[in-house]
């Protein structure tokens, strides 16, 4: 929850006189993302340790549907592109396009999360529950944490659109959009790592 | 700084609400809290100094709880076949003692000093994220209370503070204690993480003009290193705690050997957090004594850049030594050799610091005030603890010492003799800054000597006990197996228990001192600069007004305040005082800044933080409650986001010429 708190805390400065030249909010977001690296580092390590440990239930290669996940990964990566377009529109003060691209980004993110929900349900039907095996526990924990991060990102995007409509974004709007963009790209990059390690490299 | 220089209209316009109605009112939830002097102001404050005091008071409260737990442990061990606690209670007692001292006393007490003094030391008017700062405090407090509420709900955690798997599974610990522990630490972890981001950004970004990194006081440097350690260590324990919660509450098997799990995973995750944690606890105290020793030696800190950089070096190497906690777990010769070497290596920057403090005192005009005495005690006691620490780095010796009282002796010498003495040095040193009164010297001496003697009596004998093989976490010892002569375990256990009560008395005397200082009519108001100090926090009134400095100073030296008071005589190389502290301040404040704009009070930090324990109780008792907690969090976050952090119309302005009076005008009530 720290992430939304930070990104919405536009109080202090807008980089006018900061010692580093970065605004407080942006520096804070970078620090938070640095911390998040270690969070996913711990989760990914756990998964890598346990991915081959299947005492019962299906093996990873039996249930992964690589084409499906590739498509949803592609959707998520495209959302980074639309996020960039939103930031660029915000910097041009082109409010209409900014809103449009933010909504499209959120929709693409929601598509990804929807795909994950579908994937989880079908895995569950094929016999991989959260407690079935160590592989199951660590798989759902890792991808679940990522899914929660994407969902928080979607909430942030929608909140941004809503707040912008009511003209409630304090301070530098372009920077606020950029900050949420930083978070969004980070979550995408983490997914590239997860997709490679979990789905593409055979166990 | 920019907090105050931003045009006030910006927020008002961004609010978009009809004029005269604050956005938070337009949202229809709360009126923005106004300034007041009642207890309510402490609930809604975002002032880093008030939050610092709140951190301090709460942490001291937990210190007393942890102390009582320690005394119960020593009471149990004072005689053979102790009957004070049964085995189960004993397990809870040592687990909660360590957890309380580490997470609810040393860390937040360091946060108290950091919160209060870092903005003052770098010449800032507040921290970077004032509301997040308040949120962090409330998370710590509610997390700590949540953790301790387990005492009334079936007993505390009982797996040792490092909660090794598989001992932490529901099979071996069926009570809810460990669930409270995991969730409670998760909540205090949020406090540490938000605090770390806040302080790092504050230090990097909000230094006053001319305050280069290499002009920052060492305390600020050490806080910076500590916060970076927290920033990267907290997420690792977060993962470990989540895995354990999922195992205990949701049926996952992350640490269950029968399902093919590897319990060493917990040890690695825990100690990758846990070893940086050791430096998280000690570095702020190193910072405090690096402030205290130069002041009372009347000399600049010897090798300032070396002290700063050795702190940073400890911060880096601290990430590469965690497995020395696991030498006895069968890591294999290569890992053991590597971690053994890195552990010896980390002794070097630590030793460098000790040399620098000693060299600072060398040839100085020493005055043995209470803060100085605690600082010197830190050097001595920490060195003893550091030396026994080096013996742990030798893996064969460590295998012998693992899980004996020798380890207990070691870490109490570094944590009590190091971290806690540093904090007490800070109490005595900065008390006149925070409260305008100096703590009593005579009571202070009793406080100091009882603590020093008490701690050596308590933890000194544990070296002997440990090398003789008395294991940790045993709830009884028997006369029959106690040994003879010098190595009689019974004798040393008794000494240790007597020592612990001496120590406890010493700590109580600190409370007596505080009460005496603030209740007695005889205690005079402390002078502005009672110690002839060197750094910026003394260049404003005591206690500092809400906006810290009427004029933000421009810094041109390390030890800026000292250089404004003293000038070097180029012929004799001596220094002579040219201005008093009052004159320095009068000069600085000749033309006070106008339109100082401070962040406004808010209800949202405490509301958001109070939703977290709701989720916690939900995880343990009732899944619906979890959903309620999550809903509360969303709502409060939304409220937070909708409230601009600074309301438009509270300004500090200097009094008009001829108006006279104090430096500050009270905040005018809003709405």
Q: What is the pLDDT of residues B140-191, one digit of tens each?
A: 999 999 999 999 998 999 999 999 988 899 889 999 999 999 999 999 999 9
Contacts of B135 in chain A (CB under 8 A): 5
Reported confidence tier of residue B596, pLDDT bands at 50, 70, 90: confident
How high is the ipTM of this complex? 0.90
Question: Parallel, antiparallel, or unpaired: how do β-strands B575-577 and B596-597 relate?
Answer: unpaired
B252 Cβ partners below 8 Å, 6+ apart?
A: A130, A131, A137, A141, B243, B246
Cα–Cα distance, B262 to B283 (Å, whole number): 33
**Could A137 and B253 be called an inter-chain contact, meaning their C-beta atoms sit closer than 8 Å?**
yes
Tell whether domain A36-200 is in CATH 1.20.120.80.
Answer: yes
Q: Is the dihedral of CA A70, A71, A72, A78 positive or negative?
A: positive
Q: Which CATH code, of 1.20.210.10, 1.10.3720.10, 1.10.150.120, 1.20.1250.20, is assigned to B1-9+29-262+593-607?
A: 1.20.210.10
How far, CA to CA in Å, does B312 sit from each of B195, B204, B317, B338, B346? Answer: 19, 15, 9, 21, 11
Reported confidence tier of residue A103, pLDDT bands at 50, 70, 90: very high
- Tell whether the model's pLDDT for residue B21 goes beyond 70: no
Helices (H), B474-559: 489-519
Residues 264-303 of B with CB under 8 A from A: 265, 269, 272
Long-range (24+ apart) CB contacts under 8 A made by B506-510 are B506/B446, B506/B447, B506/B448, B506/B449, B506/B450, B506/B451, B506/B452, B506/B453, B506/B454, B507/B63, B507/B64, B507/B67, B507/B447, B507/B451, B509/B443, B509/B446, B509/B447, B509/B450, B510/B424, B510/B427, B510/B447
Mean pLDDT across B29-37: 67
How many contacts does A have with B, using Cβ atoms within 8 A?
A: 189
How far, CA to CA in Å, does B615 sit from each of B174, B185, B609? Answer: 21, 13, 11
Whether the Cβ atoms of residue B216 and residue B207 lie closer than 8 Å to each other? yes
Please tell me the distance in Å from B295's CA to the nearest CA on chain A.
Answer: 28
Residue B661, number of CB atoms within 10 A of its CB: 7
- For residue B600, give the chain A residue with the closest CA: A11
Cα–Cα distance, B535 to A108 (Å, whole number): 53
Whether the Cβ atoms of residue B97 and residue B73 lie closer than 8 Å to each other? yes
Contacts of B190 in chain A (CB under 8 A): 1-2
- Tell whether the model's pLDDT for residue B646 goes beyond 70: no
Mean pLDDT across A6-14: 37
Closest CA relative to residue B504, chosen from B59, B58, B69:
B69
**Vertex B576 angle, CA B575 and B577, to 5°:** 125
Interface test with A, best of B27, B124, B236, B239 (most A CBs within 10 A): B239
Cα–Cα distance, B377 to B455 (Å, whole number): 11
Cα–Cα distance, B100 to B264 (Å, whole number): 25
**Could A55 and B246 be called an inter-chain contact, meaning their C-beta atoms sit closer than 8 Å?**
no
**Could B207 and A19 be called an inter-chain contact, meaning their C-beta atoms sit closer than 8 Å?**
yes
Please tell me the distance in Å from A139's CA to the nearest CA on chain B.
Answer: 11
User: For residue B471, which phi and psi values (nearest 5 degrees)?
Assistant: -75, 155
- Tell whether the model's pLDDT for residue B24 goes beyond 70: no
Joined tokens for residue B45:
């404050």
**Could A170 and B10 be called an inter-chain contact, meaning their C-beta atoms sit closer than 8 Å?**
yes
Reported confidence tier of residue B669, pLDDT bands at 50, 70, 90: very low
Whether the Cβ atoms of residue B205 and residue A24 lie closer than 8 Å to each other? yes
**Vertex B302 angle, CA B414 and B559, to 5°:** 105
User: Which residue's entry shows tokens 């001292």?
Assistant: B101
* SS3 letters across B42-77: HHHCCCHHHHHHHHHHHHHHHHHHHHHHHHHHHHHC
- Tell whether the model's pLDDT for residue B17 goes beyond 70: no
Reported confidence tier of residue B477, pLDDT bands at 50, 70, 90: confident
Q: Does B236 contact chain A (CB < 8 Å)?
A: yes
Q: Which of the pair, B645 or B450, is modelled with greater confidence?
A: B450
Closest CA relative to residue B533, chosen from B415, B371, B382, B378:
B371
Mean pLDDT across B330-336: 90
Please tell me the distance in Å from A151's CA to the nearest CA on chain B.
Answer: 13
Helices (H), B153-176: none
**How much is the pLDDT for B1?**
35
DSSP, res B85: S
Cα–Cα distance, B645 to B656 (Å, whole number): 28
**How much is the pLDDT for B201?**
96
User: Which residue's entry shows tokens 């495209």?
Assistant: A78
Cα–Cα distance, B442 to B445 (Å, whole number): 5
How far, CA to CA in Å, does B56 sit from each of B186, B188, B195, B375? Answer: 21, 15, 15, 19
Element (H, E) at B596: strand B596-597
**How much is the pLDDT for B6?**
36
Reported confidence tier of residue B663, pLDDT bands at 50, 70, 90: very low
**How much is the pLDDT for B649?**
54
Q: Which of the pair, B29 or A79, is modelled with greater confidence?
A: A79
Closest CA relative to residue B513, chosen from B562, B613, B445:
B445
**How much is the pLDDT for B165?**
87
Mean pLDDT across A23-29: 93
Residue B601 region, left (φ>0) first, then alpha (ψ -120 to 50), else beta? beta
User: Mean pLDDT, chain B, as a whole number?
Assistant: 88
Contacts of A13 in chain B (CB under 8 A): 1-3, 6, 128, 205-206
Whether the Cβ atoms of residue A138 and residue A176 lie closer than 8 Å to each other? no
**How much is the pLDDT for B650?**
53
**How much is the pLDDT for B435?**
92
- For residue B254, give the chain A residue with the closest CA: A134
In this predicted structure, which of B19-23, B270-274, B334-338, B441-445 has the lowest mean pLDDT?
Answer: B19-23
Mean pLDDT across B545-552: 90
Contacts of B6 in chain A (CB under 8 A): 13-14, 16
Dump pLDDT digits (tens) for B184-214.
999 999 999 999 999 999 999 999 999 999 9
Joined tokens for residue B16:
């978009």
**Could A170 and B196 be called an inter-chain contact, meaning their C-beta atoms sit closer than 8 Å?**
no
Reported confidence tier of residue B647, pLDDT bands at 50, 70, 90: low
Q: Which of A4, A17, A28 sits opposite B1 (nearest CB)?
A: A17
Q: Where in chain B is the domain with CATH 1.20.210.10?
A: 1-9+29-262+593-607
Whether the Cβ atoms of residue A19 and residue B142 lie closer than 8 Å to each other? no
Give 3-state DSSP helix, strand, coil % of chain A, rounded to 5.
75, 0, 25
Number of H helices, E strands in chain B: 23, 4
Give 3-state DSSP helix, strand, coil % of chain B, rounded to 5.
65, 0, 30
**Could A41 and B15 be called an inter-chain contact, meaning their C-beta atoms sit closer than 8 Å?**
no
Cα–Cα distance, B97 to B86 (Å, whole number): 16
Please tell me the distance in Å from A40's CA to the nearest CA on chain B.
Answer: 8
**Could B599 and A8 be called an inter-chain contact, meaning their C-beta atoms sit closer than 8 Å?**
no
Dump pLDDT digits (tens) for B79-97.
988 899 999 999 999 999 9
Q: Is the peptide bond before B205 cis (omega within 30 degrees of 0)?
A: no
Mean pLDDT across B326-334: 90
Joined tokens for residue B563:
């250089």
**How much is the pLDDT for A121?**
95
Whether the Cβ atoms of residue B51 and residue B113 lie closer than 8 Å to each other? no
Q: Which of A2, A27, A53 sits opposite B205 (nearest CB)?
A: A27
Whether the Cβ atoms of residue B223 and residue B114 lie closer than 8 Å to each other? yes
Residue B457, number of CB atoms within 10 A of its CB: 18
**Could A9 and B5 be called an inter-chain contact, meaning their C-beta atoms sit closer than 8 Å?**
no
User: For residue B513, which phi and psi values (nearest 5 degrees)?
Assistant: -60, -45
B446 Cβ partners below 8 Å, 6+ apart?
A: B506, B509
**Could B239 and A43 be called an inter-chain contact, meaning their C-beta atoms sit closer than 8 Å?**
yes
**How much is the pLDDT for B597?**
80
- Tell whether the model's pLDDT for residue A66 goes beyond 50: yes
Joined tokens for residue B210:
């001319």
- Tell whether the model's pLDDT for residue A3 goes beyond 60: no
Q: Is the peptide bond before A196 cis (omega within 30 degrees of 0)?
A: no
Q: Which of B2, B197, B242 sits opposite A12 (nearest CB)?
A: B2
B242 Cβ partners below 8 Å, 6+ apart?
A: A141, B186
Looking at chain B, the whole-number percentage of residues with pLDDT higher than 90 is 71
Reported confidence tier of residue B500, pLDDT bands at 50, 70, 90: very high
Dump pLDDT digits (tens) for B625-634.
999 999 999 9
Joined tokens for residue B353:
């610091």
Joined tokens for residue B502:
């001496």
Q: Does B629 contact chain A (CB < 8 Å)?
A: no
Q: Which residues pair with B566 in a beta bridge?
A: B577
The full length of chain B comes to 671
- Give pTM, 2 decimals: 0.91
Dump pLDDT digits (tens) for B385-419.
999 999 999 999 999 999 999 999 999 999 999 99
């Amino acid at each position: 929850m720290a992430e939304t708190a930070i990104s919405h805390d536009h109080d202090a400065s807008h980089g006018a006189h900061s010692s580093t030249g970065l605004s407080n909010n942006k520096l804070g977001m970078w620090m938070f993302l640095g911390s998040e690296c270690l969070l996913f580092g711990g989760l990914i390590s756990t998964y890598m340790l346990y991915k081959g440990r299947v005492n019962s239930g299906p093996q990873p290669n039996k249930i992964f549907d690589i084409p499906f996940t590739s498509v949803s990964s592609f959707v998520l990566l495209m959302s980074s592109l639309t996020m960039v377009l939103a930031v660029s529109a915000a910097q041009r003060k082109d409010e209409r396009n900014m809103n449009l691209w933010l909504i499209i980004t959120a929709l693409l993110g929601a598509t990804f999360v929807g795909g994950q929900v579908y994937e989880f349900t079908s895995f569950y039907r094929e016999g991989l529950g959260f407690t079935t095996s160590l592989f199951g526990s660590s798989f759902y924990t890792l991808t679940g944490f990522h899914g929660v991060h994407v969902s928080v990102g979607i909430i942030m995007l929608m909140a941004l659109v809503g707040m912008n409509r009511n003209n409630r974004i304090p301070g530098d709007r372009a920077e606020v959009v950029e900050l949420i963009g930083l978070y969004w790209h980070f979550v995408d990059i983490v997914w590239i790592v997860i997709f490679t390690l979990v789905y593409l490299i055979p166990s | 700084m920019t907090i105050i220089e931003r045009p006030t209209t910006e927020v008002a316009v961004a609010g978009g609400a009809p004029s005269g109605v604050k956005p938070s009112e337009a949202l229809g939830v709360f009126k923005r809290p106004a300034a007041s002097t009642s207890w309510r102001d402490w609930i809604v404050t975002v002032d880093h100094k008030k939050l610092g005091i709140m951190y301090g008071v709460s942490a001291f409260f937990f210190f007393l709880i942890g102390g009582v737990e320690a005394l119960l442990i020593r009471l149990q061990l004072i005689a053979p076949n102790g009957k004070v606690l049964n085995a189960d209670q004993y397990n809870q007692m040592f687990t909660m003692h360590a957890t309380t001292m580490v997470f609810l006393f040393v860390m937040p007490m360091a946060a108290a000093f950091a919160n209060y003094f870092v903005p003052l030391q770098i010449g800032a008017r507040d921290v970077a994220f004032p509301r997040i700062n308040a949120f962090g405090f409330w998370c710590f407090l509610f997390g700590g209370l949540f953790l301790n509420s387990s005492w009334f709900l079936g007993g505390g955690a009982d797996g040792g503070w490092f909660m090794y798997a598989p001992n932490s599974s529901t099979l071996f610990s069926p009570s809810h204690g460990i669930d409270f522990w995991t969730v409670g630490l998760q909540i205090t972890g949020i406090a540490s993480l938000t605090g770390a981001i806040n302080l790092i950004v504050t230090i990097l970004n909000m230094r006053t003009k001319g305050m280069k990194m290499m002009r920052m006081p060492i305390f600020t440097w050490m806080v910076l290193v500590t916060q970076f350690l927290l920033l990267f260590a907290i997420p690792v324990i977060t993962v470990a705690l989540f895995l354990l919660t999922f195992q205990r509450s949701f049926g996952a098997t992350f640490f269950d050997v029968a399902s093919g799990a590897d319990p060493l995973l917990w040890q690695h995750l825990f100690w990758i957090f846990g070893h940086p944690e050791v430096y998280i606890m000690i570095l702020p105290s190193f910072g405090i004594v690096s402030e205290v020793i130069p002041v009372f030696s009347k000399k600049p800190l010897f090798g300032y850049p070396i002290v700063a950089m050795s702190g940073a070096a400890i911060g880096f190497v601290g990430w590469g030594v965690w497995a020395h906690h696991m030498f006895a777990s069968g890591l294999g010769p290569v890992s053991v050799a590597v971690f053994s070497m890195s552990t010896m290596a980390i002794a070097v920057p630590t030793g460098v610091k000790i040399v620098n403090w000693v060299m600072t005192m060398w040839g100085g005009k020493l005055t043995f005030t209470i803060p100085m005495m605690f600082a010197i005690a830190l050097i001595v006691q920490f060195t003893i603890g550091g030396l026994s620490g080096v013996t742990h780095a030798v893996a064969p010796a460590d295998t012998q010492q693992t899980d004996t009282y020798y380890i207990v002796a070691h870490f109490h010498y570094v944590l009590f003799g190091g971290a806690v003495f540093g904090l007490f040095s800070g109490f005595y040193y900065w008390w006149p800054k925070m409260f305008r009164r100096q703590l009593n010297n005579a009571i202070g001496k009793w406080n100091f000597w009882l603590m020093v003697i008490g701690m050596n009596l308590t933890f000194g004998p544990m070296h002997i006990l440990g090398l003789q093989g008395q294991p940790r976490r045993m709830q009884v010892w028997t006369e029959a197996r106690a040994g003879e002569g010098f190595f009689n375990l019974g004798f040393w256990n008794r000494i240790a228990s007597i020592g612990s009560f001496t120590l406890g008395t010493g700590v109580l005397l600190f409370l007596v001192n505080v009460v005496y200082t603030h209740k007695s009519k005889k205690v005079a108001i402390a002078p502005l600069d009672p110690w002839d100090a060197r750094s910026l926090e003394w260049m404003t009134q005591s206690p500092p007004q809400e906006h810290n400095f009427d004029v933000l100073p421009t810094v041109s030296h390390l030890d800026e305040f000292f250089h404004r008071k003293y000038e070097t005589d180029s012929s004799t190389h001596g220094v002579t005082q040219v201005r008093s502290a009052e004159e320095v301040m009068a000069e600085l404040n000749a033309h006070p800044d106008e339109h100082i704009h401070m962040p406004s009070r808010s209800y949202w930090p405490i509301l958001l933080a109070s939703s977290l324990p709701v989720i916690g109780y939900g995880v343990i008792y009732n899944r619906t409650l979890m959903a309620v907690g999550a809903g509360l969090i969303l709502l409060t976050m939304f409220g937070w986001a909708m409230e601009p952090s600074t309301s438009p119309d509270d300004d500090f302005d200097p009094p008009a010429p001829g108006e006279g009076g104090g430096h500050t005008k009270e905040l005018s009530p809003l709405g």
